[in-house]
A and B are shown apart, each in its own frame.
Chain A
């Protein structure tokens, strides 16, 4: 398509301005994390940090009312377990729903898609009560298992496997595989891209989850999002520590995101929502 030079320059101008705007909040985290309280609350906005060392990190680590190390550990355990669980369960179901087309499979697919439309608000109350009845309050089981059954993940896997060449599996069945060994030895090794994509979505969602961990997590399993939220609304909130905690909490996901973004984009592009 033809685009004038002026038009192109204009587009790059707009894109660059928007890019700065999108990066601004992340920059503000860094600025505040390496600033003194005086710099953050100065009447005139300072763009640069004034304490480019680890002082804030030390006082964050020493702050028991955040308990950042414990909280980060809890978040890591919860989100890794949830990712492993969701991916396993959804991969199996998504694969079967793509390969089998009898009536039962169609009904189950319909049931899965329907839950995409039901808001979490409908389920979270009884879900909380069920979890409480099971005695899972303040346990990792309670944090992980109720949220493990993602229709979204199952649907993404199913869409991917619709395009996966069935000939590969047929060949392996002739060579003496049963459906399970064929799945495990042929299908899974050839699906690492979509597994990485769905895994990234689940991992980020789980790490960032707030409502459910607020209800379930107490002292033993408080996640980093809940810890930050509680510190932020507490009386003695100290900005440098809060923002250093924010930086610490956001960095792992930024790294995960930058490393796995390629798979995420591919996964959403090739299978994804149509």
Chain B
């Protein structure tokens, strides 16, 4: 350690200011460099590149060939399949986010009220977190929602005297039941843990004070528990939203290769992937435009969600 901080030293050079007292800034740089270099190369460069490419034609190449302005965006927004898969996915997010939120909060509240066996039930609800979408899709596709008569649901239907249903490939909308239930099974436990963490942070005194004032049951939930869980809720909704728009694995594995995707059940991600890398135009510019549109939608939802929750906060005060 050099004495860069000696009080008698009249002027400190640029180098001394950069390295900081006792080399503090150098140490900081040393600690954060590996992470931020990686973040720059593998996250920020791709983001910027995607956005940049979206204004160019880039067939079969990663270097833009021709500036096309907003043509890629117009092309995608004029593409029925893309528009519909976006619409379906907005609907999917609007549906799955509140549903997962409510189910995980419900489980957390249920566990909170149990006297014994909490750890056991917590583990049981949490354990699907360890299972992959691929494996869950295998179970759902071949055992629960199998279109043949030996699927679990179909064998129940038959025993009640109904005809078997072609759940995943029947050209109906029943595949959404499978997609929603598999996502709930895999995700609910993780968010339940976050809610349990939030519940544990609420001071017991708050409940006691409210109980003294005569509040109970729904009133406690509405006026104490939910407002106190606001920070957790914001984080949970944001994570759920991002996850909903990134849904890919279970769509691909449950619906893939059953003929083809149901007309509008194809996630935008699959669609973009196919456009950019697989079939069609093989134009990475179009792919870039698609990801920018997707990101814009997520950010818009995030902003909206913040607005709504903040307004709720002001109204509560």
Say if A and B assemble together. yes
B43 touches A149 (CB 8 A): yes
> In the complex the two chains form, what is the Cα distance from A154 to B31 in whole Å?
12
> In the complex the two chains form, what is the Cα distance from A146 to B248 in whole Å?
19
> In the complex the two chains form, what is the Cα distance from A129 to B193 in whole Å?
37
Sampled A-B contacts (28; CB under 8 Å): A8-B113, A8-B115, A15-B111, A22-B125, A26-B127, A26-B131, A32-B142, A40-B150, A41-B150, A89-B35, A97-B32, A108-B32, A115-B43, A116-B238, A119-B246, A119-B295, A122-B295, A127-B46, A130-B45, A130-B46, A229-B253, A233-B257, A239-B142, A243-B138, A254-B127, A257-B127, A265-B126, A273-B236
Additional 13 contacts, C-beta under 8 A, given A96-B27, A148-B42: A11-B114, A12-B114, A45-B152, A108-B32, A119-B245, A121-B294, A123-B43, A126-B45, A210-B133, A229-B134, A239-B142, A253-B131, A257-B127
Tell whether B302 is near chain A: CB-to-CB under 8 Å: yes
A92 touches B113 (CB 8 A): no
CB-based nearest A residue for B38 = A149
B246 touches A43 (CB 8 A): no
Tell whether B74 is near chain A: CB-to-CB under 8 Å: no
> In the complex the two chains form, what is the Cα distance from A179 to B29 in whole Å?
12
> In the complex the two chains form, what is the Cα distance from A214 to B148 in whole Å?
29
Tell whether B99 is near chain A: CB-to-CB under 8 Å: no
Chain B residue contacts of A25, Cβ below 8 A: 128, 131, 136, 139-140, 144, 185
> In the complex the two chains form, what is the Cα distance from A25 to B153 in whole Å?
13
Number of B interface residues at 8 Å Cβ cutoff, please give it.
101
Chain A residue contacts of B287, Cβ below 8 A: 125
B294 touches A119 (CB 8 A): yes
A149 touches B130 (CB 8 A): no
Residues of A23-54 whose CB lies within 8 A of B = 23, 25-26, 28-29, 32, 40-45
Number of A interface residues at 8 Å Cβ cutoff, please give it.
96
Tell whether B129 is near chain A: CB-to-CB under 8 Å: yes
Chain A residue contacts of B277, Cβ below 8 A: 125, 128
> In the complex the two chains form, what is the Cα distance from A207 to B133 in whole Å?
11
Cβ distance A162 to chain B, nearest Cβ, rounded Å = 15
A246 touches B139 (CB 8 A): yes
Tell whether A199 is near chain B: CB-to-CB under 8 Å: no
B31 touches A92 (CB 8 A): yes
CB-based nearest B residue for A41 = B150
**Cβ-defined partner of A122 (8 Å) among B47, B144, B235:** B47
Tell whether B16 is near chain A: CB-to-CB under 8 Å: no
Tell whether A19 is near chain B: CB-to-CB under 8 Å: yes
Tell whether A112 is near chain B: CB-to-CB under 8 Å: yes
Tell whether B94 is near chain A: CB-to-CB under 8 Å: no
A11 touches B113 (CB 8 A): yes
Tell whether B149 is near chain A: CB-to-CB under 8 Å: yes
A100 touches B24 (CB 8 A): yes
Cβ distance B85 to chain A, nearest Cβ, rounded Å = 12
CB-based nearest B residue for A14 = B110
B288 touches A125 (CB 8 A): yes
Q: Using A8-B115, A233-B257 as known contacts, say yes or no to A125 and B32 having CB atoms under 8 A apart.
A: no
Which A residues have a C-beta under 8 Å from some C-beta of B?
Answer: 1, 3, 8, 11-12, 14-15, 18-19, 22-23, 25-26, 28-29, 32, 40-45, 88-90, 92-93, 95-97, 100, 102, 104-105, 108, 111-112, 115-130, 133, 145-149, 151, 154, 178-180, 183, 204, 207-211, 225, 228-229, 232-233, 239, 242-243, 246, 249-250, 253-254, 256-258, 261, 264-265, 268-270, 272-274
**Which label, helix, strand, loop or mixed, suits the secondary structure of the A interface?**
helix
CB-based nearest A residue for B254 = A232
Chain B residue contacts of A89, Cβ below 8 A: 34-35, 38
Chain B 96-135 per-residue mask, 1 if CB under 8 angstroms from chain A, else 0: 0000000000010011011101000111111111111111
Cβ distance A50 to chain B, nearest Cβ, rounded Å = 14
> In the complex the two chains form, what is the Cα distance from A90 to B34 in whole Å?
9
B50 touches A11 (CB 8 A): no
B121 touches A123 (CB 8 A): no
Q: Using A96-B32, A232-B253, A250-B131 as known contacts, say yes or no to A19 and B245 having CB atoms under 8 A apart.
A: no
A15 touches B197 (CB 8 A): no
> In the complex the two chains form, what is the Cα distance from A19 to B189 in whole Å?
11
Which B residues have a C-beta under 8 Å from some C-beta of A?
Answer: 1, 24-25, 27-28, 30-32, 34-36, 38-39, 41-47, 49-50, 53, 62, 107, 110-111, 113-115, 117, 121-144, 148-150, 152, 155-156, 158, 185, 189, 193-194, 196-197, 200, 207, 211, 231-232, 235-236, 238, 242, 245-246, 248-249, 252-253, 256-257, 268-269, 272-273, 276-277, 284, 287-288, 291-292, 294-295, 298-299, 302
A-B contact count (CB 8 A): 274
> In the complex the two chains form, what is the Cα distance from A229 to B45 in whole Å?
31
CB-based nearest B residue for A21 = B185
**Cβ-defined partner of B135 (8 Å) among A8, A122, A246:** A246
A265 touches B150 (CB 8 A): no
Chain A residue contacts of B38, Cβ below 8 A: 89, 145, 148-149
Q: Using A19-B125, A45-B152, A180-B30 as known contacts, say yes or no to A118 and B131 having CB atoms under 8 A apart.
A: no
A95 touches B31 (CB 8 A): yes
B211 touches A1 (CB 8 A): yes
Chain A residue contacts of B299, Cβ below 8 A: 117
Cβ distance B235 to chain A, nearest Cβ, rounded Å = 4
Cβ distance A273 to chain B, nearest Cβ, rounded Å = 4
A242 touches B138 (CB 8 A): yes
A118 touches B47 (CB 8 A): yes
B246 touches A120 (CB 8 A): yes
